[in-house]
Amino acid sequence: MKTQNKIILVLIAVFVGYTILFSVFIYYNISNYAFADFYKRLEIRAITTAKFQLEEKEDAEVIRELRQEHLETLQDEKINLYPLSSDRSWKAIDGIEEYNSGFVEEVVTSGTATFNDQKTFYYGVVYRSSDQKDYLVLISAENYFITHHISYFRNLLFISLGVAFLIILLISFLFSRKIIEPINQIIHRVNEISTGNLHKRLPEQSDNDDAISKLTRTFNDMLNRLETSFESQKNFISNASHELNTPLTSIIGEADVALSKLREPAYYIETLMTILEDAEKLSKKTSALLLLAQTGFDGKKQKFEKLRVDQLIMDVKGTVEKINPKNQVQIDFSLLPENPSLLKIDAIEPLMHLAMSNLIINGCKYSNHEPVQVAFGVTDTQVIILVKDQGIGIPQNELQFIYDPYFRASNTKNHEGYGIGLPLARNIIRMHKGQLYVSSETGKGTVARVVIPIGSSL
């Protein structure tokens, strides 16, 4: 059964069940009230009739007038008064046989009693007159409220229940669609995502904290991890293939030329010197690539640990300068907090190392190895890292595309690159519940601002 149908059935069952219970409760209480109220009416009429017929004329006249003015005659109303002997025997009373014997016996024994026979209700009381004689007063009448009003009320409840069922059915259908619609949208968007477009994300509503929003954020976090893994591997493979190909081609070419025919010893010495120089370049580039690979995501489960940002930046500085000795990184410690624990974040150290390395290497590369400034500070809830260079900058109309994989700005033709470092860095930072903001001005440089939440427990 579809989830939407299950929701409809559950809502209908809950609402209809509640409506039935509520209707039964109302009907039961109104019926009980109608019984008690009608017996009270019979009691008043029985007492007033007895007083009118058995008491002194002055009092009786007053009672008669009150009864005529304020007590209407009930439908099929019938009142009988029977004198009782001292031993209260009643079976020989003439005309008493039309009443239920058990009812009459209870009246004589208890002093009062009630009885109903479908539509007709009976009330009996033993009345003692002013001259100390006992009389058996029996009154009966048709309970018009029960026979007509309660029936009307019961029919009204059934009609209301039917209308309520239709309304509940409609509301349940619309409500279930409202609930299922975001899930269907998520399914549709997820079906569009594959290994070729892992950069796509599900739309998030930051002001919501319901289950759908949590599911969306959880899925996006998973995509961030997957994309980080793919891009880390692509980054390494692309760098390796490009950086290693040039010196290898040069070494093979020099060796082929040298071996094509016999040459003077001096030529061989020169060729070996060229091969040695290319081999040294190859060794340095291999070491640099291995350093980057060691900081990458290996696809295995990695745990978040406490990481001090200042120590992270110092390690990244060492890595960047080892990759290219021309790189210059200047760290500003002026904004360090008094409490060093505020610099701790929950992070996977190799991934954060890779993200910050990419940002700083970009700054060094696009500023022609001019000094890159790195500063960091804290707020009550966040650690902020700034990476500022004085390089070529990014055109304003192209800033919106900088996180697209393989995108490179139009003014980067003279600089090597693949357009995957910045998207990779942003995905890693997103995995750590942080944000990456980039501002730039052509010819004046770029500022990358990384905002990461402070660790959950200091």
Residue 295: the pLDDT is 46
Mean pLDDT of the 149-168 span: 79
d(CA 405, CA 420): 5
Which of 235-244, 247-256, 398-407, 433-442 ranks highest by mean pLDDT? Answer: 433-442
From 143-147, 377-381, 413-417, the region with the lowest mean pLDDT: 143-147
d(CA 104, CA 205): 77
The number of helix segments (H) and strand segments (E) in the chain equals 10, 11
d(CA 309, CA 383): 8
From 11-25, 64-78, 137-151, 282-296, the region with the lowest mean pLDDT: 282-296
Residue that has been written with the tokens 């109302």 in this structure: 26
293, pLDDT greater than 70: no
pTM (2 d.p.): 0.46
Beta-bridged to residue 114, according to DSSP, are 123
**Secondary structure class of 423 (helix, strand, coil):** helix
Residue 301: the pLDDT is 52
Quote the DSSP letter at residue 74: P
Mean pLDDT of the 196-204 span: 72
Average pLDDT, the chain: 79
Measured CA distances, 86 to 83, 108, 134, 166, 312 (Å): 10, 12, 8, 66, 111
Quick check: 364 and 339 in contact, CB under 8 A? no
d(CA 295, CA 423): 16
Q: Are strands 372-378 and 329-332 parallel, antiparallel or unpaired?
A: parallel
The amino acid that residue 360 corresponds to is: I
Start-to-end CA distance of the chain, whole Å, equals 49
Instruction: Indicate the domain borders of the chain.
Output: 3-150, 215-453
Which carries the bigger pLDDT value, residue 72 or residue 159? 159
Which carries the bigger pLDDT value, residue 219 or residue 417? 219
56, pLDDT greater than 50: yes
Residue 53: the pLDDT is 74
CATH topology of domain 3-150: Beta-Lactamase (3.30.450)
Closest alpha carbon to 323 in 362, 297, 379:
362
Residue 76: the pLDDT is 81
The amino acid that residue 219 corresponds to is: F
Quick check: 100 and 117 in contact, CB under 8 A? yes
25, pLDDT greater than 60: yes
Which of 211-215, 224-228, 305-309 ranks highest by mean pLDDT? Answer: 305-309
Length of the chain: 458
Residue 330 pLDDT grade (very low, low, confident, very high; cuts 50, 70, 90): very high
Residue that has been written with the tokens 């990014």 in this structure: 394
Query: What residue spans of 55-133 are helical by DSSP H?
Result: 57-70, 101-110
Contacts of 184 (CB under 8 A, 6+ apart): none
Residue 229: the pLDDT is 67
Longest dimension (CA), the chain: 161
**Secondary structure class of 82 (helix, strand, coil):** strand
List pLDDT tens digits, range 125-154: 988 887 788 888 888 888 776 666 677 777
b/e 333-357 (16+ beta carbons within 10 angstroms → b): eeebeeeeebbbbbbbbbbbbbbbb
Number of C-beta neighbours around residue 18 at 10 A: 12
- CATH architecture for residues 215-453: 2-Layer Sandwich (3.30)
d(CA 394, CA 399): 7
Residue 149: the pLDDT is 67
299, pLDDT greater than 70: no
b/e 137-167 (16+ beta carbons within 10 angstroms → b): bbbbbbbebbeeebeebeeebeeeeeebeee
Which carries the bigger pLDDT value, residue 368 or residue 292? 368
204, pLDDT greater than 50: yes
d(CA 234, CA 418): 10
Closest alpha carbon to 43 in 119, 117, 105, 122:
122
What are the backbone dihedrals phi and psi of residue 327, each rounded to the nearest 5 degrees, phi first?
-65, 135
Quick check: 420 and 405 in contact, CB under 8 A? yes
Quote the DSSP letter at residue 132: S
Number of C-beta neighbours around residue 134 at 10 A: 16
Which of 142-156, 300-314, 350-364 ranks highest by mean pLDDT? Answer: 350-364
d(CA 394, CA 144): 90
From 78-87, 102-111, 241-250, the region with the lowest mean pLDDT: 241-250
Q: Which string of DSSP letters, residue by residue, matches 137-199?
A: EEEEEE-HIIIIIIHHHHHHHHHHHHHHHHHHHHHHHHHHHHHHHHHHHHHHHHHH--GGGTT
d(CA 91, CA 101): 9
Q: How many CA atoms lie within 13 A of 205 on its CB side?
A: 9
Mean pLDDT of the 382-396 span: 92
Residue 35: the pLDDT is 77
d(CA 389, CA 372): 5
Which carries the bigger pLDDT value, residue 118 or residue 361? 361
Number of C-beta neighbours around residue 393 at 10 A: 21
d(CA 267, CA 181): 76
From 158-162, 191-195, 363-367, 377-381, the region with the lowest mean pLDDT: 191-195
Residue 63: the pLDDT is 52
Question: Rg of the chain's alpha carbons, rounded to an integer?
Answer: 48
